[in-house]
Structure 1
Amino acid sequence: MRVKESLGALGDPRFAWYFAARTVSTGGSVMVPVALAFAVLHIDASAGALAQVLGVRTLAMVVFLLVGGVVADRFSRIVVLQVSHVLTCLTQAVAAALIISGHATLTQLTVIEGINGAVSAFTMPAMMGIVPLVVDRARLQQANALLSFSRSGLAVIGPALAGLLVVGVGPGWALAVDALTYAVAIVCLSRVGLPRAEPGRVRRPSMVRELREGWSEFTRRQWLWVVVLAFGLTNAIHVGVIGVLGPLIAASSEAIGEAGWGLVLSAEAAGTVIMTLVMLRLRLEHPLRAGMLAICVLAVPMVLLGALPALLPVAIGFFVAGAAVEVFGVGWSTALHEHVPVAVLSRVSSYDALGSFVAMPIGTFVYGWLATTVDLETLILVSAAVYVVISLAALLSRSVRDLGRSSEEPTEEPTEEPTDEPTEVRTVAMPATAAGRSSAPPQS
């Protein structure tokens, strides 16, 4: 496949503007994980404090996910994104101002991140539901790979830059940049121009009925709920080891340090970028089989972080893991877009996100507690082993191993048409995933 053909999805102006919006907002958000983690640790240098902020954010997201999925299917997904971006822009600006002025407290950051978590519950399902509407089905894998390439390419620079900002002028400035990028993304989203149904043309069913429809579509696909179940467990491990223990080890280690942790995350993104170039040209015939095998590689940086916490080996481990995440991410998004009807994509996505994220607050708090009671090396090595076992267990399901590609639109009984779908889309009823923010751990 030629380079021009690989970029063909950008030929549709709707996708091009959506791509621009995602790219701009990602440019700021890739700095947030580093900036937020060390902003918290500067206030309270303990695993418990970091676990509190991250755990509340994830908990708030989980609580609102199902509502977010219904809202994204019921109303214009572009409008949902714009409103969510406005709220995120404001909260990040407030957090930046508090941190830069030196008045931030742990309670304030916890509340702000709780609000951001709730907002992201609406953002992720809406983003997942937009992609099939702005690009031809034949270019879905390319579109997902391009979005991932944008996110990962910026993530190469973002964490390292955030680490330098933390050391040089403080973490608040990275959050200020993030707030600004959301404002620009709002303008780009206004140019996407998805068609809308005429107001009042159809009578929408109740929210409860729509949730039931989404649940039905989610549970009837074994490959879907099996992978989500696996990620519900592995995400809890990942957020505990990488999200809580990682910054703690980096901050207390002269071999890594705060700036080094930013470089480590940049190395992960570099691995993703390299693999994205491959995914633009390579067709995955069995996307979930390849994805679940690849995701086992995420245990590599965990092992290195526990057994050999030095900058170079840990960065190499993260580089390899980043490449593996990209294989899963593109394969998973493509499988969902090809096998789940567009009309319920956001609702099914919200069930995916709920299943994938529900144990993350528990993992965050548990690892924050374990860090004070268990030897860190032993804890990390055991966690890595369990991570691999769970990931491979998903492949025991034939529906996961053998799921192939589809060139036809999945169809179900037609229901009321969502307000932002093209008029020709009339089918009814996908895990939250690459649609999630880059600050989140890998998820389905």
Structure 2
Amino acid sequence: MSEIADAQAPPAKDPRKLTSGPFVRLWTAYTVNVAGDEFYTLAVPLIAYQAGASAGTMSLLYACSLLPQVVMGVLGGVVADRAERVKILRVSYLCSALTLLTACVVFGLTGVHLVGLAATAVLLGATAPVAAAAFDSSIPLYVEPAGLSRANAMTEASRTVCVVAGPAAAGVLLGHVAPQYALLVNALSFIGAFLALHSMQARTRSAAAFGKTPSSSFGTALKAGLRHLLKGRSSLQVGVALSTVINVVFGAYEPLVVYRLRDQVHASSSTVGLVMACAGAVSLAVALLLSWKAPSRGFMTVMGVSTTAQGLSVMVVALSDSVLLIACAQASFVSAMLVYTVYWRAMRQAHVPPGFLGRVSGACRAIAFGGAFLGSVVSYLLLNGILAVDTALLVAGLTVCVLGTMVIAWSAVSRKTTAM
């Protein structure tokens, strides 16, 4: 049955327990998928490093995964609002699995090469934002507003469990087996996510909730969604700007940390994986705490504080040559990023009508990933003889610290103005 807009369906009876069947299946598919993604996230920079890539080339490779998300983030949001969201998730997961399986075969026959890694990153980057928009906009259909922060924290808790295991497994596995097997792990996770949603029935929604008639053109629907974002709450606009700048500054953070640990601190691949796993373990505790009790208020203040914490953490990564201290800073960074993600997503879900949520979420992701792509390209240019990796990280951390402080101040002023 066609799903035009799911907003009118009754939400879960008890949002505090978050145990409705559809939400559990969505969460299960997300968890299985992200398990492979976290493995893949660290595996690809390590594979590229083993293939002889420089820090600049690793940044450029990362950019290849971001550019498609700029375009498909917007288009995917429209698709999520107009079509059956569960079906979109299934198709996206299946396409990603086929992409990775193809890469495994090609690398097994010809060996790993950077062009192949870049092509795989582009194809995966095209499907990821479509799935993300469908998933984000599905959550409010099964969870009431009072439970949104906790529901998002629950998904982040499962992600951080994968952060603990994925990087450690990637570091160890890549030290003993061929690189294509690392990609196979991610392919199997997409297949598992697809199976978790097999035969799941989607909820229907009215055309009125969509904001336009079901027969409205793709372009009309897209314009309506963008108009809602640009003319909506100022907190949404500040959130988009904040996410964009963060992504510009930290556009190539992950591969740069890997490169710094491997090339400047001289850590082994297994040690890099352990550092990332320890960071995930700490952030898991944070995610579980938020899953248990996450207030659904003060969104912008929390986002500003967590942004400042991210900046301070990156500055420590840039200045220290101690693996232990870098591991602590990375744990702080990942935990602060988790808190930021939970509250930014919950704020969108709480403030945007469900019929527009796919388009708004997709547009937010597209703008933010546009910033990440720009940041990756800038990193590629700066790291080729202009800035050292540690200097680039220091500048990025300082910039984000200032930005977070400004958002905290803006939030305080906004609260006072509203109270008058």
Give the whole-Å Cα distance in 2 for the aligned partners of 1:191 and 1:399: 47
Matched, 1:248 2:259: yes
Q: Which residue of 1 aligns with 2:124?
A: 116
1:7/1:103 CA distance change after superposition, 3 Å? farther
Deviations 1:99-140 (Å, cap 9, x if unpaired)?
445523211221121111111121111111110112233322
Mapping of 1:160-199 within 5 angstroms?
Answer: 160-196=168-204
How many pairs were matched up?
Answer: 395
Q: Which residue of 2 aligns with 1:145?
A: 153
Q: Offset at 1:196?
A: 3.4
Give the whole-Å Cα distance in 2 for the aligned partners of 1:335 and 1:55: 28
Give the whole-Å Cα distance in 2 for the aligned partners of 1:74 and 1:274: 37
Deviations 1:226-274 (Å, cap 9, x if unpaired)?
121122111121123x233212222214542322222222222222211
Runs of 4+ in structure 1 over 4 Å off: 398-401
Q: Which residue of 2 aligns with 1:213?
A: 224
Asked if the contact 2:300/2:407 (under 8 Å) is kept, the reply is no
Q: Which residue of 2 aligns with 1:136?
A: 144
Give the whole-Å Cα distance in 2 for the aligned partners of 1:146 and 1:396: 29
Q: Which residue of 1 aligns with 2:394?
A: 381
Give the whole-Å Cα distance in 2 for the aligned partners of 1:208 and 1:305: 44
Mapping of 1:255-294 within 5 angstroms?
Answer: 255-279=266-290, 280-294=292-306
Q: Offset at 1:189?
A: 1.3
Mapping of 1:388-399 within 5 angstroms?
Answer: 388-398=401-411
Q: Offset at 1:198?
A: 9.8
Give the whole-Å Cα distance in 2 for the aligned partners of 1:154 and 1:272: 11
Q: Offset at 1:378?
A: 2.7
Give the whole-Å Cα distance in 1 for the aligned partners of 2:115 and 2:335: 36
Q: Offset at 1:15?
A: 0.7
Match of 2:355 among 343, 354, 358: 343
Q: Which residue of 1 aligns with 2:36?
A: 28
Q: Offset at 1:399?
A: 8.7
1:313/1:45 CA distance change after superposition, 3 Å? same
1:398/1:104 CA distance change after superposition, 3 Å? same
Q: Which deviates more, 187-196 or 30-39?
A: 187-196
Asked if the contact 2:160/2:280 (under 8 Å) is kept, the reply is yes
Asked if the contact 1:299/1:387 (under 8 Å) is kept, the reply is yes
Asked if the contact 2:171/2:269 (under 8 Å) is kept, the reply is yes
Unpaired runs of 5+ residues, structure 2, are 1-13, 208-212
Deviations 1:261-312 (Å, cap 9, x if unpaired)?
2222222222221111221224243122112212211123322222113321
Asked if the contact 2:307/2:400 (under 8 Å) is kept, the reply is no
1:102/1:265 CA distance change after superposition, 3 Å? farther
Identity of aligned residues (%): 24
Q: Offset at 1:45?
A: 2.5
Give the whole-Å Cα distance in 1 for the aligned partners of 2:334 and 2:404: 16
Give the whole-Å Cα distance in 1 for the aligned partners of 2:87 and 2:413: 34
Q: Offset at 1:333?
A: 1.9
Give the whole-Å Cα distance in 1 for the aligned partners of 2:389 and 2:57: 17
Q: Which residue of 1 aligns with 2:162?
A: 154
The letter for the 2-side match of 1:223 is S
Q: Which residue of 2 aligns with 1:76?
A: 84
1:227/1:195 CA distance change after superposition, 3 Å? closer
Give the whole-Å Cα distance in 1 for the aligned partners of 2:205 and 2:300: 34
Whichever structure has more helix as a proportion of its residues is 2
TM-score, reference length from structure 2: 0.88
Unpaired runs of 5+ residues, structure 1, are 404-444
Q: Offset at 1:398?
A: 4.3
Q: Which residue of 2 aligns with 1:56?
A: 64
1:35/1:206 CA distance change after superposition, 3 Å? same
The letter for the 1-side match of 2:90 is Q
The letter for the 2-side match of 1:9 is L
Deviations 1:18-68 (Å, cap 9, x if unpaired)?
111111111211101111111122223212321222112111111222111
Asked if the contact 1:286/1:401 (under 8 Å) is kept, the reply is no
Q: Offset at 1:327?
A: 2.1
The letter for the 1-side match of 2:377 is F
Asked if the contact 1:222/1:399 (under 8 Å) is kept, the reply is no
1:198/1:391 CA distance change after superposition, 3 Å? closer
Deviations 1:86-109 (Å, cap 9, x if unpaired)?
111011122233344552321122
Q: Secondary structure at the match of 1:131?
A: helix
Q: Which residue of 1 aligns with 2:7?
A: none
Q: Which deviates more, 214-223 or 189-198?
A: 189-198
Q: Secondary structure at the match of 2:251?
A: helix
Asked if the contact 1:288/1:328 (under 8 Å) is kept, the reply is no
Matched, 1:96 2:104: yes
Give the whole-Å Cα distance in 2 for the aligned partners of 1:284 and 1:7: 12
For the aligned residue pairs, the C-alpha RMSD in angstroms reads 2.3
Q: Offset at 1:400?
A: 8.9
The letter for the 2-side match of 1:380 is L
